[in-house]
Amino acid sequence: MPEPGSDTFRTPSKIAFWLCAALMAATCLFYYPKWKQANTEATLSWDVSGYYLYLPAALIYHDIRHLNWWEAVDAKYHPGPGMGQAFQHPSGNYVMKYPMGQALQFLPWFAAAHLLAAPLGFPADGFSLPYQAAISWGSLLVALLGLWFARRNLLAFFPERTVAAVLICLVFGTNYLEYTAITGAMTHNWLFTLYSLLIFTTMRFYERPTALRAAAIGLLVGWATLTRPTEIISALIPLLWGIDGRSAFHTRLAFFKEHFRKMALAVLVAGAVIFLQALYWKFASDDWVVYSYQDQGFSWLRPHLSDVLFSARAGWLVYSPMMLFAVAGLFFLRAQLRWVVLIFCLVALYITAAWDIWWYGGSLGQRAMVQAYPLWVFALAAFLEWVRKPGRPWKRWAFTLLACVFIYINLWWTHQAHRGGLFVSEQMTKRYMLKVLGRFEAQRDWLKLLDTKEEFKGAERREVRQVFSEDFENARNGTTDEAAIAGNRSFLLNND
């Protein structure tokens, strides 16, 4: 299907896309170039270093089971909590905490950096500047690719101006900016692109079902799952896409029966991709299946829904209030989109809230929601279509005013999470947030409002001696009745 408005560069959605691309590039390259940062602020740090670990282990050090090389790298670059990105299996070998899907996505950028590191005078050790820069720049390009396809997907259902407004709201007004332009090496950015491509491929598969498109769907579902296992829910998109009622459901079942071989091909491709992780587990531990997250897990019966949505610590709608419009837009979705968007978004939200570490480390808002934005933007577009309906201009004025406020809030929080310093990850409280909101400097006393998770144990006792005792029966030396304010006598203090 040709792209709507492809005959001109100056369509509203293309102009919006390039404005968003300019903001993302400026943020990544100039405002906070993460590849230039050191230690745990570097691109390859914390969770990113854990996902990335497969590449230097296998391709540079040729030691993916014992990780004997890691101690020297950790001492030099300090990317995170020691050996927190892998654990020692009962077999005696180390097993990576995270699956390998993200490492496979990093592979082309890693290869380019590895080829250039030594000629440019840098250590070819997997963590020097060329590797940091390659992963950061690659993440930015992947983000732009995902945003472009999200735009293409929206144009299949909504007019140019609505799509343009959605792009501006998404990039300028939500934590999508943070997790693409600054911390884009995290999985959420790359998954956003995989989801955008999956939606694009799914739409074309139902227009003209071919084996190649079926295989592409299987590849994208498998790769998303290999990146984060919970992304197995990506299979809901090709299964539910376009179903708008009971009759459409029966029609879809008939379609699956008619194209059974193509559907089986998609399942086989997805299974083959996911099976790569089982091969690694077998090689590293001699077990086909390993739960590598150890003591971390889900509370399926008691999800942390209110915390995920509204907490000061990491509330999605607190730090990205623009997405309130998307939540409202769920009620305005056209029938063709309603069920796939509603079911997927609610399932994704439930999984996000069920994770016991619901604040997801130092997350600015809920970073685990970002990969679902390719679906949420349809709801946001539906809300904007309702706003743009003629007859009630107050809706446009109200939306414009609120959108501007929400954009300011998002840009302000993004700044405070890095150069501003007022956002303190994992310690935010409601009282502290209300104190600093909109400011660019904070009083030192306000830091007492943060939740440090520490207990006050008291200072060390020094020069402890008894200076007075009272039995409430007899007058004691060192007391007087001359300065009593209440009662009969007062205690005198002197230099002794």
Are 342 and 356 contacting, i.e. CB atoms less than 8 angstroms apart?
no
Beta-ladder partners of 298: 355
pLDDT at res. 400: 97
Distance CA 487, CA 472 (A): 12
Amino acid found at 403: A
Amino acid found at 301: L
pLDDT tens digit sequence for 387-397: 999 888 999 99
Q: Are strands 490-491 and 479-480 parallel, antiparallel or unpaired?
A: antiparallel
pTM over 0.85: yes
Distance CA 197, CA 146 (A): 7
* Contacts with 10 (C-beta within 8 Å, 6 or more apart), sequence order: none
pLDDT over 90 percentage in the chain: 86
Distance CA 170, CA 178 (A): 11
pLDDT at res. 84: 84
Distance CA 406, CA 329 (A): 17
Q: Is the pLDDT of residue 292 over 50?
A: yes
Q: Is the pLDDT of residue 1 over 90?
A: no
Catalogue the E-assigned strands of 55-160: 86-88, 94-96
Extents of the domains making up the chain: 12-409
Q: Roughly how many angstroms between the first and final C-alpha of the chain, as a whole number?
A: 93
What kind and span of H or E run contains 354?
helix 335-354
Distance CA 233, CA 231 (A): 5
Q: State mean pLDDT over 478-482.
A: 66
Reported as a pLDDT band with limits 50, 70 and 90, residue 473 is low
The phi-psi region of residue 242 (left if phi > 0; otherwise alpha if psi is between -120 and 50; otherwise beta) is left
Q: Is the pLDDT of residue 5 over 60?
A: no
Residue 376: how many CB atoms within 10 A of its CB? 26
Q: Which residue has the tokens 């999200």?
A: 150
pLDDT tens digit sequence for 82-104: 778 999 999 999 999 999 999 99
214-218, 243-247, 478-482: segment of lowest average pLDDT: 478-482
Distance CA 386, CA 399 (A): 11
pLDDT at res. 2: 46
Buried b (16+ CB within 10 A) or exposed e, 353-367: bbbeebbbebbbbbb
Token readout for 416 is 């405070």
Q: Is the pLDDT of residue 456 over 70?
A: no
Beta-ladder partners of 88: 94
Are 127 and 8 contacting, i.e. CB atoms less than 8 angstroms apart?
no
pLDDT at res. 317: 98
The phi-psi region of residue 126 (left if phi > 0; otherwise alpha if psi is between -120 and 50; otherwise beta) is left
pLDDT at res. 423: 97
CA angle (180 as vertex; 177, 183 as ends), nearest 5: 105
* Contacts with 110 (C-beta within 8 Å, 6 or more apart), sequence order: 52, 55, 59, 126, 131, 134, 135
Work out the mean pLDDT of the chain and round it to a whole number.
93
CA angle (478 as vertex; 475, 483 as ends), nearest 5: 85
pLDDT tens digit sequence for 101-136: 999 999 999 999 999 999 999 999 999 999 999 999
Q: Is the pLDDT of residue 51 over 70?
A: yes
Q: Is the pLDDT of residue 6 over 70?
A: no
Distance CA 5, CA 12 (A): 9
Q: Is the pLDDT of residue 221 over 80?
A: yes
CA 87 to chain centre: 23
Are 414 and 406 contacting, i.e. CB atoms less than 8 angstroms apart?
no
Torsion of CA 313, 318, 322, 326, to 10 degrees: 90
Q: Are strands 94-96 and 86-88 parallel, antiparallel or unpaired?
A: antiparallel
Token readout for 124 is 């070819």
What kind and span of H or E run contains 86?
strand 86-88
Residues in the chain: 496
Residue 141: how many CB atoms within 10 A of its CB? 13
Beta-ladder partners of 490: 480
